[in-house]
Chain A
Amino acid sequence: MISVSNAVVRYPGARDNALDGASFEARPGCVTAVVGPNGSGKSTVVRTLIGQVELASGSMRVGTVDVARADRRALARTLAVVTQREELTFSLPVRDYVMLGRYPHHGAWSTLGPADATLVDAAAARTGAAELMDRRTDELSGGEWQRVRLARALAQGGDVLVLDEPGTFLDVAHEMALFELLDALARGGRTVLLVSHQLNLVARFAAHIVLLDHGRVVAAGSPADVMRGEVLEPVYHWPLVISRDPAVGAPVLVPLRRR
C-alpha cells in the first residue's frame, strides 16, 4: 500500500510547487493510476518515492514506512520501480540484468546464490521473459526490454510495484499484454501504481484513477468518476467526448479535432 498525504515538492529555482498538497492512496489488489497533463507532477511522485526528490512537507508511506526516513536498501526490498527510461551504456546478459533486482537483499561482500537464481527465473517466467535470459540487453526489442525490466522489478521480491509510463515505445499488442500482466499481478495481491499518459488504457485496467493538475489532485475515483468531460476538459484544455469500450464498457476518451 502507498499513502501520499499532503505532499509538497518544490524543485530548486522553480516558481511553482511540483506537488502542491497532493493526497491519495494506492491499495493492494488493484491497479491505481496517476494521470494528468505534462508537468502535472506525475513523475515527481515516483521520484519522491525512490528518494531522488525531497518532500518540503507532507509524507509518503510505503506500507508503514515513511520514504523520507527509510533506509533505501530496505525500502527497495518492498518497493520496486520501473522508471520511465533506462538505456544501458554497457550492455549486459539479460540474466545478469534481472539478477540486479536481488542486490537490495545483499551486502557488499555477500554473494548471490542459487536461491536468488530461482527467484530470478520465477520473475522472468512471470513476465514472459524466460526465453530472453540468454540474450543480451542490446539485442532486445522495445517490448522485450519492458518485460525484462518488469522481471527485474519482480525479482526485487516486494509487494509494491510502481511503473512510470510503462507503455511508451510499445505497439498495441505488447501494450495490452503488459497491462494484462500488471492487472494479474495486482489481482495476486500486489499494490500496483501506474503513472501514465494513456487515459484510455488506464481507464480499462485501473480500479482507481488519480488525476493530477499543477501538483494537486483534482479528481480521484473509479474510471467512471474521473473519465468525464467536465472533469478532464478543464485540466487538458482541449474539447473531448467520452465514449464506451464495446467489450468491457469502460469509458473511452476521444479528443476532438479543432474546426
Chain B
Amino acid sequence: MSVSRWLLLAVALVAACAAGLALGPVPIVLGDVMRALIGAGEPQTIAIVRDLRLSRVVLAMITGAGLGMSGAALQGTLRNALAEPYLLGVSGGAAVGAVLAVVAGLTAALALPVAAFAGAACAVLLVLLVARAARGRADPRILLMAGVVVGAFANAAIMVLLAGAAEGTVRSALWWMMGSVAGADWVTIRWLTLYALGGGVALVAVARDIDLLALGEDAAAGLGVHVAAATRRIFLLAALLAAVTVAGAGLVGFVGLIVPALARALGVRRAREVLLASAVLGAALVVGADVVARTVRAPAELPLGAVTALIGVPFFLVRLRRVS
C-alpha cells in the first residue's frame, strides 16, 4: 500500500482521538485539550480530559486494534470474508471466561484477560468442532451458524452467572453483552496493552503463514507451511486479541468484520499489511463509535456494542450477499 494511504489511516486515527478527547457532555475546544494533556489550563478541564476521556480513548484504541487484527487473522486463515471474533462466538466465549473469573472473585487486572483467553480458546475449538461435524468448514455460512450458536450460548451463560451476583460487586450483564469503554482504570489498561501488543506482534510474525493459508490448506502445505500447527497458532493469537478486548470493553461486535474489508478496499493485500491497517482502522472506528455512543443521546450513554452493531449489521448483509 502507498505511503499516502498509510498517512490517511494515521490521520483518521488522530482525528478520531481528537474527537474522543474534545467531544462529550462538556465540549472542550482542541486548544484546551492539548493544554490539558500536558497538564496546563483549568483543573476541571484537565480532570475531564486526562482522567475521564483519555483512558476511554486509549481503551477504545486497544479494543478496536485488537478486534481488527483478530478479524483479519480469522478471515485469512479460514478463507471466510464473514469471519470475525464476535460472529464466531469467540468474543462470547471470552466474556463467559471473564465473567466466571469475576464471579469467582478473580478481578485482578492481570488475571481477567487470562480467564477471557481461556474462554475464547474453548469457543474457537467448539466452533471448529461443530463446523467440522457438519462437514462445513469450507462453507462460510455453516461456520458462521456454529459461531452464532456458540455466541447465543455464551450470552445465556453470562445472564445465568450474573443473575445471582450481588449488585455493585460485578459489572452488569448489559455491560458485558453490549460493550463499553467507560470507567477504565489505568492499571487495567496497562495490562491490556501488554497482552494486546504481545498478541499483535506475534500475529504479524506469522503473517506469511496467513498469506499462504489463504490459498487453501493443501496449497499452503505445498509452500512449506505446517498447516495444523500454524492454524492452531493463528487461532490462539486471534482468540487472545479478542479476549483482551472483551476483558477491557465487553462484547463489541462487527469491528473485526468491517475493518479488514475496509483495509482490503484501500488496496491492502498482504496479510502483514492487512493486519497493521486493520489495527489502525479498528482503533479509529471504535474511538469514533465511542464518541457517537456518548454524544448522540447525551447525557445518557449508548452501549458501544449497539453503535458498532448499527454500523455492522447492514455491512454484514451486503457481505453475505456477495459471499453467497
Cα distance A124–B304 when bound, in Å?
A: 49
Q: How far is the CB of B278 from chain A (nearest CB, A)?
A: 13
Q: Which residue of A lies closest to B260 (CB)?
A: A90
Contact present for A52 and B214 (CB under 8 Å): no
**Cβ B221 vs Cβ A88 within 8 A:** no
Instruction: Let me know if B224 and A76 touch, CB within 8 A.
Output: yes
Contact with A along B217-228 (1 / 0, CB 8 A): 111011111110
Please name the residue on chain A nearest to B218 by beta carbon: A83
The stretch of B5-13, B185-193, B205-213, B248-256 that contacts the partner chain = B205-213
A76 touches B223 (CB 8 A): yes
Q: Quick check: A83 and B223 within 8 Å, CB to CB?
A: no
Assuming the contacts A52-B227, A96-B269, A106-B208, asked whether A90 and B214 have C-beta atoms less than 8 A apart, the reply is yes
In the bound complex, how far is the Cα of B227 from the Cα of A47, in angstroms? 12
Q: Find out whether the CB atom of A76 lies under 8 angstroms from the CB atom of B208.
A: no
Closest to A105 in B: B224
* Residues of A that sit less than 8 Å from B by CB: 46-47, 50-52, 72-77, 79-90, 92-93, 96, 100-101, 103-104, 106, 108-109, 153, 156, 162
Segment at the A interface, from B16-24, B60-68, B76-84, B285-293: B76-84
Residues of A near B222 (CB, < 8 A) are 50, 76, 79-83, 153, 162
Residue B215, interface by CB 8 Å: yes
Contacts known (A100-B211, A103-B224); A109 close to B205, Cβ less than 8 A: yes
Flag if B212 contacts A103 (CB, 8 Å).
yes
Within 8 A of A (CB), among B6-63: none
- Assembly CA distance A74 to B207 (angstroms): 19
A72 pairs with B226, CB closer than 8 A: yes
B223 engages A103 (CB within 8 Å) = yes
Contact A87/B223 with A92-B269, A96-B270, A103-B208 known, Cβ cut-off 8 Å: no
CB distance from A3 to the nearest CB of B (A): 19
- B216 nearest in chain A by CB position: A86
Q: Are B219 and A89 in contact (CB under 8 A)?
A: no
B217 touches which of A52, A73, A90, A162 (Cβ 8 Å): A52
Query: Within the complex, which residue of A82, A83, A108 is in contact with B205, where a contact is CB–CB below 8 Å?
Result: A108
Residues in A with CB closer than 8 Å to B225 are 72-73
Cβ-based interface call for B141 (8 A): no
Seed contacts A76-B222, A86-B216; 8 additional CB < 8 Å A-B pairs: A50-B218, A72-B225, A73-B224, A75-B224, A80-B222, A88-B215, A90-B264, A103-B223
Q: How far is the CA of A81 from the CA of B226 in the complex (A)?
A: 15
Whether A89 touches B227, Cβ cut-off 8 Å, given contacts A50-B221, A81-B222, A96-B269, is no
Complex interface: chain B residues within 8 A of A51 (CB): 221, 226-227
Cα(A80)–Cα(B205), bound, Å: 24
Contacts of A153 in B (CB 8 A): 222
Report how far A82 CA is from B215 CA in the complex, Å.
11
The interface residues of chain B lying within 8 Å CB-to-CB of A100 are 211-212, 215, 223
Nearest residue (CB) in A for B81 is A89
Min CB–CB distance B112 → chain A (angstroms):
30
User: B224 to A72, Cβ gap below 8 A?
Assistant: yes
Considering only CB atoms, which chain B residue lies closest to A149 in the complex?
B219
Is the Cβ of B226 less than 8 Å from the Cβ of A86? no
Q: What's the Cα separation between A92 and B212 when bound, in Å?
A: 12
Does the CB pair A93–B218 fall under 8 Å?
no
Neighbouring B residues of A73 by C-beta, 8 Å: 224-225
A141 → B minimal CB distance (Å)? 19
- Interfacial chain A residues near B216, Cβ < 8 Å: 83, 85-87
Assess whether A83 is in contact with B219, with CB atoms less than 8 Å apart.
yes
Q: Tell me the smallest distance from the CB of B321 to a CB of chain A, in Å.
A: 15
Partner of B223, one of A47, A74, A88, A101: A101
Residues of chain B within 8 A of A93, CB atoms compared: 269
A103 to chain B, nearest CB (A): 5
- Closest Cβ of chain A to B85, distance in Å, is 18
Q: State whether A104 touches B223 (Cβ < 8 A).
A: yes
Report the Cα distance A96→B269, complex, angstroms.
9
Contact check, B76 vs A90: say whether CB atoms are below 8 A apart: yes
10 shortest interchain CB distances as A-B pairs: A76-B224, A81-B222, A73-B224, A50-B221, A104-B224, A89-B79, A83-B218, A50-B222, A72-B224, A108-B205
Q: Chain A contacts of B208 at CB under 8 A?
A: 103, 106, 108
Complex partner residue of A86 from B81, B211, B215, B227, CB under 8 angstroms: B215
Residues of B within 8 Å of A89, CB to CB, are 75, 79-81, 214
Shortest distance between the CB of A166 and any CB in chain B (Å): 13
Q: Which B residues, 170 to 216, have Cβ-Cβ distances below 8 Å to chain A?
A: 205-208, 211-212, 214-216
